Structure 1
Amino acid sequence: MTMKVRNLALVALLGTASIGAAQSPDAPALTGPDWARRGEAELSPARYSVIVEKDVAVPMRDGVKLAADVYRPDAPGKFPVIVLRTPYNKATPDEVQNSRWYAERGYVVVNEDVRGRFASGGDFYTYRHEAQDGYDTDAWAAVQPWSSGRLGTLGGSYLGYTGLTQAIGGHPALKAVATDVTTTDIYNSWVYSDGAFLLGFSLPWGAGTVYGRTTDGGGAFVKPEAYAKLPLNTADAASYKVDQPYRDWLAHPLRGDSYWNGISFERQAAKISIPALVVSGWYDIFLRGALGDHQQIKGAGATPLARAQKRIVIGPWTHFKTIAPRKGGFGGMSTPDDVDYGPDAALNGNLLYLRWHDHWLKGMDNGADRDPAVRIFVMGENKWRAEDEWPLKRTRYTPYYLASGGRANTATGDGTLSTTKPAGAESDRYDYDPANPVPTLGGNICCSSVPSGAHDHSPVEKRPDVLVFTGPVLDRTVEVTGPIRATLYAASSAPDTDWVVRLIDVDPNGYARNIQDGIVRARYRKGKDAPPAPIEPGKVYRYDIDMWASSNAFLPGHRIRVEVTSSNFPRFDRNLNTGEDPATGTRMAVAHQQVLHSARYPSHVLLPIIPR
């Protein structure tokens, strides 16, 4: 693997239907794996000129009218319909080109501004109206004179969320979903992560990019000082303007709160009854939710068709850097990922989504219904692999135990990692100061100036508030593919604090590439549905930390490493260590932390090892 070289996958702009977007006529032939190029000749060809109707009024059940631009083939007859519902302006050049591209290939594209955004009527409130408005839009599109009565969805991120909510108890005319970098799980993927607030996303995107009707001056890149603003529920005004949804998210930290009804649909994902194709990335912010949706639908989907025809494709991508749509990408919204995963990591989404809709909306026998349920990109070896299920049945879940002589602070400390359970009574200590948190350096974050994806964590590992546990040099490849969890036995001097665990791949040159991480807020250690419970200072608690999932081959000569710390800022808000309400607290305290790894308290990460 070549380090410090940019990922070859081109840019996908948040919210556009970017993965299915058109390739410019002058673009060079895209590379990519054979499986993605197979069947290219079977795709619907560009054969139609296009008629465009601007700002067509689409009625909602409450009398509000949404505005849609309708792109349709200039030919008699009825055509299948692709519905895109966007908060990012249907009239942008990329949206126009994308919609035309599908219309040229025999689809009617209904490209609609969601309620309260740009040309559509009503008031916008993030997430709140999408399921109902999506259903009403589908009902309208199904009976138009140009409609065949067979509908599909397209689009990523927020557009993907709208498509998935359309499919939950969806209109009978909706026959297929195609989407990327998204999930139904708003609560525990978009806003919170095991009790910690996703500040690095919720502030710049929620209180900036989708603020108001037209985002008049807001945007994804907030003032750096706004992240540190206290109380947290005023950081929106410090960055841009007061945003009520942002403040409401902070005021409703429990999943069981009725506020999340009609917003977060992860408990209803199994109600999807139609084929659904989702593309995600190992470094996408919504990866965990996408995998959760997949397991729900695959295991308990509302129909045999939905269960049999659920597909997921996961590459080495971040949210902005997904599948190469066309020469030049979209808008230059790149992320400074350090790693080049090779030419197979750059896919042309047309070969996925057009093929999908050709089959399910046009009835073309192109093999889309016979594709494997799961395709994963194994980083390190940089190879694609087809699988029948997720997680993989052949997985050997193997504990890797933390150990040290009590000085695991920094990468030059004495922390070790092995499959041997500790026998002594060991522990490590560090101080976590929320006034000086560990900075976010890559990972599953998007939509801000904060780095995402894979980066060298060596700078972070110089901090004394980061414990570093490193395994021996490998003499064979160790593949880690699947869900990753950590069990941490720890004590704190604070009534509340955070624990962060990160998996690292260290190459022979010392480049420490972050693979995946997880966080838990101590007061929410009992789960997202349980009331918050303070911890007793000095008492040892067991923390089970969901480190999401990945697929990485640790190659010979590399080492497996684990970091333990108490902050990852500003991806997550800082725990102030005082036990105050995180939304309104202003007082900080230094927490004296102890991580135990002994026969009694065997702290470890549980790695999903795939037999070679």
Structure 2
Amino acid sequence: MNRTVRVAGLATDLCLPASPGRHPAVVLRTPYDRRRHRAELRGWAARGFAALAQDVRGRYASPGDWHPYGGHEAEDGSATLRWVRDQGWSDGRVVAAGASYGAHCALAVAAEADAVIAAVPALGLAETAREATGPERLLARAGWWWEHGDRRVPATTPLDPSALERLPLTGVLDLPGWPGLWRAHRRDQPAAPVPLLAVGGTRDPFAEDTARLWRRWPGPARLLLGPWGHRLTAEPAPEARPGHRLDLGAVYVGWARAALGGALTGRHGAVALGGSDHWHPAGHPVPATPYPFGAPGGLRLLHGAEFVADPERPVRSDTLDVPRDGVPDRCLLATPPLPRPVDLLGPAEARLDAVADTPSADWAVRVVALDPAGRAEPLAAGIVRRTRPGPFRVPLGHLARRLPAGTRLRVEVAGHHFPAHARNPHTGEDPVTATRLAASRRTVRTRGSALALPVVRGARRIDPVQEIQT
């Protein structure tokens, strides 16, 4: 049964197993209302774990000032873990767990925990603000900050979409903490040689952060990556199949028992192949298959080898429509129909030889799958910021998809991906503070440019639960 206590001065729900004695504990710290986790706490307790959910400082019932991604999470998390270990019902072992911002809280105390579950991890202030390749993540950050930043409880009205058009970027929201988001610098992520379970969705904006955390973790690490969005199995992607339905609670419990029992070694995991019912091992390198621009059997140039990227009329991220007339605003290419099904499993990228006539330029690449009826579905997207010409690469994320025969791939190379990402003003000024916009003329040299896809043949199928828990 849940009861509310004060731990380190913060509002905390505690749920203990019905059986007496000492138990391992699971600690979840969240800015999204601890009360939403009460059913989850009961599930952990029913399986022999003491379970706690805590409102972080300054949110909901916890006192203090709320400073997202500030130093309080490590301080308060450490105090909470010490309190847990001092209780008579504790056997001293603690799993720090959380999703999204909660994963940030769990990672902040990784060195003091015995195991860590980090689901769809929003790793830090700078990490959430910008892509690793430079461009600013506008839509997701503005939406989150409007709802949660500088507020004890979430906003009750939605963000006005027209706010995203405002210049400078620091003026998009009238909230005290908003400008500081764009001044933040990336820091080394907390890590410890304890077991880690990293969970993500291929449709989640932090999917690459999840995979990178898993790859760099110094202790035993497991990765579970499914065809889901930020809410994981509660947000299945269109390519999800019945075989991708998992009881994540049961997976977490089984993994936690194995982790606390010292049964886990090495680094491996499971990735779902969207469009099929199969799961495959994570981390196995797949040689890239190039689809050259402008070559027979590759990507046929439809138009726009030369185009104009105008931030006053940016290529939008929230529609798959492609203009058919006027001055091209993107380079557009397409493959012939695939003669047979293709499985894509691993990182994809675009290799571009392209130039811009402005001192700074963003290059956005979007890959769209067109079914035989011509219906469009987004497959991959990436964006990089460049200050010099010449060949370069645009990472497109981790793909895990089966494409049926007859599918065509459409590739768009553009100068913007708005409102998902802020507009590059093309003036050489910082996009965060710029108030002037200028058009940029672009040239994509088809010779030397290609789409590189991880085409896999005969991949080994696995049981994801067994892969995670052994």
TM above 0.5: yes
Q: Aligned-pair distance for 1:350?
A: 1.9
SS at match of 2:395: strand
Write out per-residue CA displacement over residues 197-225 of structure 1, whole angstroms, 9 at most, x where no aligned residue. 1111111102432432223546xx41011
User: What is the aligned partner in structure 1 of residue 340 from structure 2?
Assistant: 476
User: Aligned equivalents of 1:137 and 1:78: distance in 2?
Assistant: 17
Q: Aligned-pair distance for 1:128?
A: 1.6
Write out per-residue CA displacement over residues 389-440 of structure 1, whole angstroms, 9 at most, x where no aligned residue. 51x23x2222221128xxxxxxxxxxx76189x9xxx981111221221222
Correspondence list, 1:184-333, <5 A = 184=123, 186-217=125-156, 221-237=158-174, 242-244=175-177, 246-252=178-184, 255=185, 260=186, 264-266=187-189, 268=190, 271-297=191-217, 301=218, 306-307=219-220, 310-320=221-231, 322-324=232-234
SS at match of 2:79: helix
Question: Aligned to 2:293, which of 372, 377, 402?
Answer: 402
Question: Aligned to 2:329, which of 465, 477, 483?
Answer: 465
Question: Aligned to 1:551, which of 400, 406, 417?
Answer: 400
User: Aligned equivalents of 1:312 and 1:190: distance in 2?
Assistant: 24
Write out per-residue CA displacement over residues 117-158 of structure 1, whole angstroms, 9 at most, x where no aligned residue. 222233221112223332222122112122111111232111
User: Aligned equivalents of 1:573 and 1:427: distance in 2?
Assistant: 22
In 2 relative to 1, CA 216–206 (structure 1 residues): closer, same or farther, beyond 3 Å?
closer
Task: Verify the 8 A CA contact 1:186 1:265 in the aligned structure 2.
Answer: no
Write out per-residue CA displacement over residues 257-302 of structure 1, whole angstroms, 9 at most, x where no aligned residue. xxx4xxx444x5xx321111122111111111111111112xxx1x
Question: Aligned to 1:608, which of 449, 454, 457?
Answer: 454
User: What is the aligned partner in structure 1 of residue 462 from structure 2?
Assistant: none
User: Aligned equivalents of 2:322 and 2:199: distance in 1?
Assistant: 31
Amino acid in the other structure paired with 2:334: T
| TM-score, length of structure 2 as denominator length | 0.88
In 2 relative to 1, CA 591–204 (structure 1 residues): closer, same or farther, beyond 3 Å?
same
Does residue 1:165 correspond to 2:85, yes or no? no
Does residue 1:566 correspond to 2:415, yes or no? yes
Amino acid in the other structure paired with 2:168: P
User: What is the aligned partner in structure 2 of residue 378 from structure 1?
Assistant: 273
Q: Aligned-pair distance for 1:370?
A: 8.8
Question: Aligned to 1:135, which of 50, 67, 78?
Answer: 78
Correspondence list, 1:13-162, <5 A = 50=1, 52-58=2-8, 65-91=9-35, 94-129=36-71, 130-162=73-105
User: What is the aligned partner in structure 2 of residue 23 from structure 1?
Assistant: none
Task: Verify the 8 A CA contact 1:80 1:147 in the aligned structure 2.
Answer: yes
In 2 relative to 1, CA 386–341 (structure 1 residues): closer, same or farther, beyond 3 Å?
closer
Task: Verify the 8 A CA contact 2:129 2:181 in the aligned structure 1.
Answer: no
The alignment yields a C-alpha RMSD, in angstroms, of: 2.7
User: Aligned equivalents of 1:340 and 1:481: distance in 2?
Assistant: 14
SS at match of 1:438: coil
Task: Verify the 8 A CA contact 2:125 2:181 in the aligned structure 1.
Answer: no
Does residue 1:435 correspond to 2:315, yes or no? no
Q: Aligned-pair distance for 1:89?
A: 1.6
SS at match of 1:192: coil
Q: Aligned-pair distance for 1:312?
A: 0.8
Write out per-residue CA displacement over residues 483-523 of structure 1, whole angstroms, 9 at most, x where no aligned residue. 11222122223222211112222221112221111101224
User: Aligned equivalents of 1:541 and 1:360: distance in 2?
Assistant: 47
Q: Aligned-pair distance for 1:581?
A: 1.9
SS at match of 1:499: strand
Q: Aligned-pair distance for 1:185?
A: 5.8
| TM-score, length of structure 1 as denominator length | 0.69
- The answer to which structure, 1 or 2, has the higher relative contact order (CA under 8 A, 6+ apart) is 1
Task: Verify the 8 A CA contact 1:185 1:265 in the aligned structure 2.
Answer: no
Q: Aligned-pair distance for 1:369?
A: 4.4
> Unaligned regions of 5+ residues in structure 1, if any?
1-49, 59-64, 325-333, 405-415, 443-456, 524-534
Write out per-residue CA displacement over residues 437-468 of structure 1, whole angstroms, 9 at most, x where no aligned residue. 122238xxxxxxxxxxxxxx3x2465731322
Amino acid in the other structure paired with 1:247: P
User: What is the aligned partner in structure 1 of residue 259 from structure 2?
Assistant: 360
Q: How many residues align?
A: 454
In 2 relative to 1, CA 104–190 (structure 1 residues): closer, same or farther, beyond 3 Å?
farther
User: What is the aligned partner in structure 2 of residue 348 from structure 1?
Assistant: 247
Further displaced range: 477-486 or 186-195: 186-195
In 2 relative to 1, CA 121–417 (structure 1 residues): closer, same or farther, beyond 3 Å?
farther
In 2 relative to 1, CA 225–102 (structure 1 residues): closer, same or farther, beyond 3 Å?
same
Correspondence list, 1:489-508, <5 A = 489-508=353-372
In 2 relative to 1, CA 57–466 (structure 1 residues): closer, same or farther, beyond 3 Å?
same
**Structure ranking higher in strand proportion:** 2
User: Aligned equivalents of 1:460 and 1:136: distance in 2?
Assistant: 54
Q: Aligned-pair distance for 1:193?
A: 4.2
Task: Verify the 8 A CA contact 2:239 2:274 in the aligned structure 1.
Answer: no
In 2 relative to 1, CA 201–553 (structure 1 residues): closer, same or farther, beyond 3 Å?
same
User: Aligned equivalents of 1:342 and 1:53: distance in 2?
Assistant: 38
Amino acid in the other structure paired with 1:295: R
Task: Verify the 8 A CA contact 2:290 2:453 in the aligned structure 1.
Answer: yes
Q: Aligned-pair distance for 1:114?
A: 1.1
User: Aligned equivalents of 1:353 and 1:233: distance in 2?
Assistant: 40
User: What is the aligned partner in structure 2 of residue 38 from structure 1?
Assistant: none
Further displaced range: 509-518 or 564-573: 509-518
Amino acid in the other structure paired with 1:232: L
